[in-house]
C-alpha cells in the first residue's frame, strides 16, 4: 500500500499477487510495478477529467510523482549520485525545493524543469573536459 496506494484503505485487488511473493521480494521489479500503476492511474484520471471536466483523486504513488517532479526542477541536484532517490529527499529538502519553485502568487513552476536521465550526470553539474594532448595549429592542419 505504500508503493501503490489507493484512495481506499483496502489493498487493490490487482496487487494481491504481490503479497504472496514477499519472501522473494528482492527478485521482482518493484520500480516497474510502481511506474506501471502510476501511469495507469494517471491515464484513468485523464479519461475521467476530459470526459467530465473534473475528476476526484488520481491514485498511484504520490511519493514517486513527488520525487520525479523534484528531481527535474531547474536547480542544483540533491546528491544526484545516490539511488534510490527516496534516500536524499528529506522533508527539509522537499520544503526548500517547494519554496524555491513557488511563485509570488502561490503557483508552482517558477524554476522550470530540466531534462534529466537517472544514471547519467545531472545537467547542472559541471562537465569535466580534457584538453587535447598535442596542440594543433588550425591554420596549418589538414
d(CA 41, CA 59): 5
The reported pLDDT for the residue numbered 137 is 57
Whether the pLDDT of residue 3 is over 60: the answer is no
Are 14 and 32 in contact by the 8 Å Cβ rule? The answer is no
What is the rounded average pLDDT of the residues 13-35? 76
C-alpha distance across the termini of the chain, in Å:
65
Confidence at 141, pLDDT banded by 50, 70, 90: low
41-71 per-position pLDDT tens digit: 888 888 988 999 888 877 767 777 788 889 9
Which of 69, 3, 72 lies closest to 38 in space, CA to CA?
Answer: 3
Report residue 115 CA to chain centroid gap.
11
The reported pLDDT for the residue numbered 92 is 94
User: Where do the domains of the chain lie?
Assistant: 1-60, 61-130
- Going from the C-alpha of 136 to that of each of 128, 129, 130, the distances in angstroms are 21, 17, 15
Q: What is the pTM of this model?
A: 0.59
85-140 per-position pLDDT tens digit: 888 999 899 999 999 999 999 999 999 999 999 889 999 887 766 655 665 555 55
d(CA 68, CA 71): 5
Amino acid at each position: 500500500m505504500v508503493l501503490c496506494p489507493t484512495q481506499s484503505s483496502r489493498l487493490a485487488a490487482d496487487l494481491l499477487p504481490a503479497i504472496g511473493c514477499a519472501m522473494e521480494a528482492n527478485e521482482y521489479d518493484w520500480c516497474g510495478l510502481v511506474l506501471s500503476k502510476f501511469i495507469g492511474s494517471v491515464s484513468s484520471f485523464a479519461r475521467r477529467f476530459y470526459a467530465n471536466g473534473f475528476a476526484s483523486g488520481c491514485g498511484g504513488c504520490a511519493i514517486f510523482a513527488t520525487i520525479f517532479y523534484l528531481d527535474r526542477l531547474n536547480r542544483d541536484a540533491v546528491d544526484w549520485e545516490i539511488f534510490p532517490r527516496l534516500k536524499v529527499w528529506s522533508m527539509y529538502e522537499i520544503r526548500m525545493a517547494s519554496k524555491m519553485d513557488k511563485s509570488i502568487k502561490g503557483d508552482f513552476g517558477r524554476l522550470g524543469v530540466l531534462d534529466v536521465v537517472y544514471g547519467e550526470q545531472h545537467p547542472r553539474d559541471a562537465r569535466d573536459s580534457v584538453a587535447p594532448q598535442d596542440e594543433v595549429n588550425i591554420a596549418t592542419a589538414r
